Structure 1
Amino acid sequence: MTRIRRGQAIACVLLANATLLHSAWAQPGTGEVETLDLSAANTETEQALGPISVTGVPLPGSPFSQAANVDVLESDTIEAKGATNLGEALDDLAGVNSIGTGNSVGKPVIRGLSGERIKILSNGVGMDHQQYGVRHMPTTDTFLLGRAEVVRGASSVLYGSSALGGAINLLPQDIAWDNPIEGETLTRYSTNNDQWDTGVKASGGDGRFGYSAGIIRRSAGDIETPDESTYFPPAPSAELQDAPAYTGKLGNTDFDQVNGDFALGYRDDGGGEWTARYSRFNDEHNFLLPPPAGNLPPAAGEEGVGQFIDNEQVELAAEKEAGGITWKPKLVWQNNRRRSNAAGTPRVAGFDNAIDIEFDQYTARLEGQHGPVLGLDGGTVGVEYTTKDQVSRGTTQLSPGGDVDNMAVFAFEEKGIVDLLLQAGLRYDHHEIEGDASKTANPSQSVIDAGKQSYDVVTGSLGGIYSLTERLSVAANVGRGFRAPTLFELYASGVHGGVAAFQQGDPDLEEETSLNTDLSLRWASPTMRAKATVYRNVIDNYIFLRDTGATVNGLPVFANDQTDARLVGAELSIEKDVNDWLMLSAAAETVDGERRDNGSDLPLLPADNVRLGAEFTPASDGWLRDPRGSVTLRYYASKDGTPGEPFEQFDNAPFGSASTDDYVLVDLGAGFSPRIAGQTVHLDLAINNLLDEDYRGFLDTYKGYALSPGRDVRLTARVPFGG
């Protein structure tokens, strides 16, 4: 199959859909809006991309045909980039950033919101990875994905609590029903932390029965930063007080992962598909601790904390048409266990029983996608029930044991009126949560006294996209989102070694509610794609960690608290095909978030940034097949740490800084796909931080006491087979 550059493929899809929208919306009530009827000239593009069908919308359809701001990243794009975690995979998208901790952790940030406010979905069903921790990574592997879909803005109508800021739907690789076997192997080496990634995935079937499977091992040493001056008290000079505690090779930043996915499928005679899937994410890692959070004085060298993550998931799913409705039942079981040592005990020492939190979560979800009814063009209706049972066995409570239940009904519909497409939804959630001392090894008094907390919330959304011409459209959305407080936020009590703080909950927290509005202009032609968006998100009862000013054993005490907040921002992305072999791109974003009571900045907001890029795809008929290259410049503005932000305490420490200066990074990429012994091999080279820039990323959780990673050369070899 001919390799198609991402920008060229998107151009064909968007232009085809602009034409489709202009014609289909002129026939309201036909129910044809969701159809992606590409012309023969675009057949190769359709084959390369597969079906373009996104989440967070009433009916499947292309990203361009949705009122919501949606992006889709295919597995091929993610792997060619050399991404090793989910945050890295998505952070080239305008308005999307990553909270990083070495190479093992990348937590997505969408329009300034992260953690519990972004819903991570597995094939449309919400997952939990104990994301209350700023360093708690999503328990999924990018190599095992078929594609990732990113929906910006409130998605609570379809996905309930925690989708207040957006949703990321992670879809596994498709089953190749009519091909005995197709797949690929991957080998990648990263020089910065001596990381080896080795994986294989395959899929196949005989038309009735099918399968897909994949496994990958990632093994990494310590990351390396530019070797600059460090500082420990007493200071040689006042000018060095904000110097990092550690530079060069950072000890205790290594990790090992073995992740896998296996599915079996069956197609019945009526066109229905039935699948059973098992996946597992198993990780061991160290986090570098700030001095003197461990057991030794700062001058004795780095200390770490070992953590052990295990996540298992079983999904039973089907898609079957009956009564003119396409039914999509899903039943998912997830088991997640997070174990963490006390500060100063690395993973090589084994588990010391400090923090041991495990939960089982069961989700039953039934969606029905229907065509025209009651004057509407079609939409999705559904019910969902989730129950979670958590236990805390460690000597430190931190997040306690308890139970969480959520029941919901929802409807999301659309209607085309000439050149206007309207999409609207409504949802009701009944959410219950209760801390349980009998499921907590060392319960705090708040857990012992805990009663059941109940939240009844109605959310809704209204969006529209208007086709001004076949190439230009305007879209607007308004949506109400909600998020119920978590067991951690209500009842936390203990030392959180990974962030060097004592954290405590508040059992009187109320649910967060938001009103999100955005307006965007979109342009798609054969040679240019562009989107410009402005948004405003007003959040009532915003939950945050407040620095109480108190300390426990020398660590600051952060307490969960609430206030009203507001975020205002803008994002821009442009791709321009200069000719057949050169594409230029640019992206920029700014977001301002503040507390409405005192005007203080909200925590964990990305610094304003601009990205400029060029992609080169010259033609070649020889051994150097499908050559490609890229250069990317990224500028990040300076940004001050905000009170109560994780690691903000380092602005007042005798070393380091939570505030960051502006900086520029240069990244290079290159690749080609030769045929060796009749077999195509995709070779890709990515050089991150080419100039070995000395900098601190504002969303890098090591920024308080170390520099961000230096130059990293990643070489990826992928060998497709079968097909």
Structure 2
Amino acid sequence: MHKVHRTFLAGLLVGSPATPLLAQPMNDDQEFSIELDAIEVTAGVPVPGDPLLQAANIAVLSGEDLRRRQRFTLGETLEALPGVASITAGNMVGKPVIRGLSGNQIQVLSNGIGVDYQQYGERHPPNIDPFLAGRIEVVRGASSLLYGSGALGGAIDVQAPAFVFMPKGESEAVADTLFVYHSNNGQWDTGAKARASSDQFSLDAGIMGRSAGNLTTPNAATAAESGNPSDPKFTGELPFTNFDQLNAQFGAGVLTDLGEFGVRYNQWNNENNFLLPTGQGIGLWLNNDQLQLTGAMPLASGWELKPTLSWQHNLRRANSPGQLLSAGFDGTIHLEFDRYVARLEAVHGALGPFDGGTLGVEYSNKIQYSRGTTVLAPGGEVSNLALFAFESKDIGDWTLQAGLRHDWHSVTGDAGKTRAPVNFVGRDSHDYSVFTGSLGAVYRLTDQVAIASNLGRGFRAPSLFELYADGVHGGVAAIQEGDPNLEPETSINVDLGLRWNTPRLQGSATVYRNAISDYIYLQDTGRSRNGLPIFAYQQDDALLTGLELEANWQLTEQLELSGTLDLVRGTNDRTDEDLPLLPADSLRLEATYWFAERGPIREPYLTLGLRHAAAKDAAPGEPFSQFDQLPFGTASTEAYTLADLDLGFAFRAFGNRLARVDLTVRNLFDTEYRDFLDTYKGYALSPGRDIRLSLSVPFGG
């Protein structure tokens, strides 16, 4: 029998070929079949296991799938997953959206620990480089049970490469390099990762440098040239859209008789300009450091203790409009915080009526200083103490999962930690005490088909920014005001899905409903100050519903078809109006053909893809909605369809490992369009054709 080996994520990830297929001609008497490698999910579950049999809706990117989907930003890396979109600024930012929620309403994690990146801003990117990730797990739906405040819509856990220990007396050293050129903005990405392992020690390190010029859009007529007020103000090369990044990580692990222990350090550094609707630019500096100490200690009776200590230092600096990177920092916005997290998980096997689960406690404390002349957010302190339990039980063809969590959360604005005048005196504290939980079930119709449903309660406490903001947010050309009387958001999320994972066909169909009480959102007040619109935070109940479809069909040994469909609706219960910044309905289709290997060429492939987005009207008063009334640009977008092309091959390199060459063309026909979640849409088109050429060369092994 001729067998094709490939990795597929248990019906939870489609839209790309996974491990390349071995395209060899078959004899007439050979039978075509596929062997699926086992994938284990670790995020959002009581115990690690098969994603097909988890009540929560989880997708995993790892190995070859992650390598091929890997992009400059986290959002673009994940946007092909059903239920996931990306807020951008041209080709910058890449801020993930899960089931219509983003920013403070979803949780981005690094190795299971939440990462704070001042995510309230539409153009504030996660401080994470996908190139340095070992795997990424996406939990869709309320995930407060394990991750606390901020996971109303879901969670994204970006995990470092696992420590690798060799058999006794053996050692190994391997490395990978990556070189990428982007034609659209002249961007160069140069990265390297290396690992050295023995039977007791594991070391790994990675570095990625990225440098880009100005973004280019199709060279269409501007509003000034055409007289059409819906045409953009800028086309062609967009000034002040350049950036530079330098990101790195280092990890060291040791295997002892007590268990596995590790230390990991990550650094993320970004400098970029933003183009403003006035035609001015604004300079921005972002720095993030994270240090983690981890352990995994097996105990008697199937228990394992997993302690984690984490420190994060984050610095955000931004100039006033017109002051570029080249002018240096002018002191306008200077936000800096340190965040400390201590987390202890106890993973167990059979315990009482349960087959396995996790008990945990987590404490976090964030201390922030606002040293700028403008109060984007005040100084203050945010702390949280949580206790949680998450358990699983198999009964025949059923898997039942349930958990409970309690959080004590405190947010304190501190005028003493804020340079500029603020709208409160001394220290102003808000304390919250919230229960959350989840209840889910999976029924196995067959070994390859399952029905899953999950009911989860989420919560999110308002942030320092939402409570106390009072000033110009230059990056969005608006004045934003907080509300110190905001209540915490709570949600009840339920989803129901059918999943299948057969050798030839994998996929899922999921419907969900997320009812949010006291939904927090920015609303245009209709007022202005100094020529800038004033947006203020408000609260209302809201409802989000949606449909996610995905399928991957191995039509023949060489031809693979895949597609995803995303529909999401969000409504303000009081006004019956759409919620802000919901992604447009989207459809993605791809066909991949694996050619026969010839000579030194291994795994050659060609992928043709289509991305369609429906027309989308901006919700009344949402951020950027003012562009529907200006003499240029638009906040609402028309439907569009883009074509993409991928082709590549591998060849044997150093240490008999495979080097890879990939050519990717995004927006193949240089189509004029505006993506609804592109925050430049108000005054510029979305990116034109981009040709990306990448070379990945391994060493050792």
Normalising by structure 2, what TM-score? 0.94
Which residue is equivalent to 1:285?
A: 272
Q: For the structure 1 residues 171 and 679, does the alpha-carbon distance in structure 2 shift closer, same or farther, using more than 3 Å as the test?
A: closer
Q: Is the 8 A contact 1:11 1:525 kept in 2?
A: no
Q: Is the 8 A contact 1:202 1:214 kept in 2?
A: yes
* Fraction of identical pairs, as percent: 51
Once the 2 structures are TM-superposed, how far is the Cα of residue 676 of structure 1 from its aligned partner? 5.2
- Give the counterpart of 1:552 among 518, 529, 544: 529
Which residue is equivalent to 2:76?
A: 88
Matches within 5 A, 1:553-568: 553-568=530-545
Which residue is equivalent to 1:110?
A: 98
Letter of the 2:611 partner, please give it: R
Range that drifts further, 678-687 or 109-118? 678-687
Which residue is equivalent to 2:17?
A: none
Q: Is the 8 A contact 2:4 2:34 kept in 1?
A: no
Structure 1: segments with no counterpart, 5+ residues: 16-40, 292-301
Q: Is the 8 A contact 2:192 2:208 kept in 1?
A: yes
SS of match in other structure, 2:163? coil
Once the 2 structures are TM-superposed, how far is the Cα of residue 80 of structure 1 from its aligned partner? 2.4
Which residue is equivalent to 1:648?
A: 625
Matches within 5 A, 1:139-218: 139-178=127-166, 179-218=171-210
TM-superposition CA deviations, 1:374-400 (whole Å, max 9, x none): 111010000000000000000001100
Q: Is the 8 A contact 2:663 2:692 kept in 1?
A: yes
TM-superposition CA deviations, 1:426-472 (whole Å, max 9, x none): 000000011000000003223x2652100000001001110012222
Normalising by structure 1, what TM-score? 0.91
SS of match in other structure, 2:96? strand
Letter of the 1:227 partner, please give it: N
Aligned mates of 1:409, 1:348 — CA distance in 2: 48
Once the 2 structures are TM-superposed, how far is the Cα of residue 644 of structure 1 from its aligned partner? 2.5
Which residue is equivalent to 2:24?
A: none
Once the 2 structures are TM-superposed, how far is the Cα of residue 545 of structure 1 from its aligned partner? 0.5
Q: Is the 8 A contact 1:530 1:572 kept in 2?
A: yes
Aligned mates of 2:600, 2:504 — CA distance in 1: 29
TM-superposition CA deviations, 1:536-594 (whole Å, max 9, x none): 00000000011111111100000111111000110100000001111101110111101
- Give the counterpart of 2:385 among 407, 425, 430: 407
Aligned mates of 1:480, 1:14 — CA distance in 2: 23
Q: For the structure 1 residues 90 and 501, does the alpha-carbon distance in structure 2 shift closer, same or farther, using more than 3 Å as the test?
A: same
Aligned mates of 1:676, 1:175 — CA distance in 2: 24
Letter of the 1:225 partner, please give it: T
Q: Is the 8 A contact 1:82 1:716 kept in 2?
A: no
- Give the counterpart of 2:216 among 212, 219, 224: 224
Once the 2 structures are TM-superposed, how far is the Cα of residue 675 of structure 1 from its aligned partner? 2.7
TM-superposition CA deviations, 1:30-77 (whole Å, max 9, x none): xxxxxxxxxxx999946xxxx623210000012112111110011533
Q: Is the 8 A contact 1:80 1:716 kept in 2?
A: no
Which residue is equivalent to 1:65?
A: 53
Q: For the structure 1 residues 648 and 219, does the alpha-carbon distance in structure 2 shift closer, same or farther, using more than 3 Å as the test?
A: same
Aligned mates of 1:483, 1:44 — CA distance in 2: 39
1:77 and 2:69 matched:
no
Q: For the structure 1 residues 218 and 367, does the alpha-carbon distance in structure 2 shift closer, same or farther, using more than 3 Å as the test?
A: same
Aligned mates of 1:414, 1:610 — CA distance in 2: 35
Letter of the 2:533 partner, please give it: P
Aligned mates of 2:226, 2:153 — CA distance in 1: 46
Aligned mates of 2:488, 2:70 — CA distance in 1: 39
Letter of the 2:352 partner, please give it: L
Range that drifts further, 153-162 or 468-477? 468-477
Aligned mates of 1:184, 1:4 — CA distance in 2: 26
Aligned mates of 2:344, 2:69 — CA distance in 1: 36
Which residue is equivalent to 1:137?
A: 125
Aligned mates of 2:545, 2:603 — CA distance in 1: 42
Q: Is the 8 A contact 1:11 1:528 kept in 2?
A: no
Which residue is equivalent to 1:590?
A: 567
Which residue is equivalent to 1:382?
A: 360
Matches within 5 A, 1:217-366: 217-232=209-224, 237=227, 240-270=228-258, 272-291=259-278, 302-324=279-301, 325-366=303-344
TM-superposition CA deviations, 1:4-39 (whole Å, max 9, x none): 88xx31178999xxxxxxxxxxxxxxxxxxxxxxxx
Q: Is the 8 A contact 1:444 1:493 kept in 2?
A: yes
Q: Is the 8 A contact 2:10 2:52 kept in 1?
A: no
1:537 and 2:525 matched:
no
Aligned mates of 1:14, 1:647 — CA distance in 2: 34
Once the 2 structures are TM-superposed, how far is the Cα of residue 344 of structure 1 from its aligned partner? 1.3
Task: Name the one with the larger strand percent.
Answer: 2
Q: Is the 8 A contact 2:11 2:551 kept in 1?
A: no
Q: Is the 8 A contact 1:81 1:686 kept in 2?
A: no
SS of match in other structure, 1:626? strand
SS of match in other structure, 1:643? coil
Name the count of aligned residue pairs: 674
SS of match in other structure, 1:64? helix
Q: Is the 8 A contact 2:653 2:698 kept in 1?
A: no
Aligned mates of 2:281, 2:214 — CA distance in 1: 11
RMSD between aligned residues: 1.8
Aligned mates of 1:42, 1:274 — CA distance in 2: 37
Q: For the structure 1 residues 532 and 394, does the alpha-carbon distance in structure 2 shift closer, same or farther, using more than 3 Å as the test?
A: same
TM-superposition CA deviations, 1:190-234 (whole Å, max 9, x none): 0001000001001122111111100010000111000111124xx
Aligned mates of 1:13, 1:523 — CA distance in 2: 6
Aligned mates of 1:452, 1:275 — CA distance in 2: 37
TM-superposition CA deviations, 1:148-195 (whole Å, max 9, x none): 000000000000000111010000112232243112000000000100
Once the 2 structures are TM-superposed, how far is the Cα of residue 519 of structure 1 from its aligned partner? 0.4
SS of match in other structure, 1:627? strand
Which residue is equivalent to 2:347?
A: 369
Which residue is equivalent to 1:432?
A: 410
Aligned mates of 1:477, 1:169 — CA distance in 2: 19
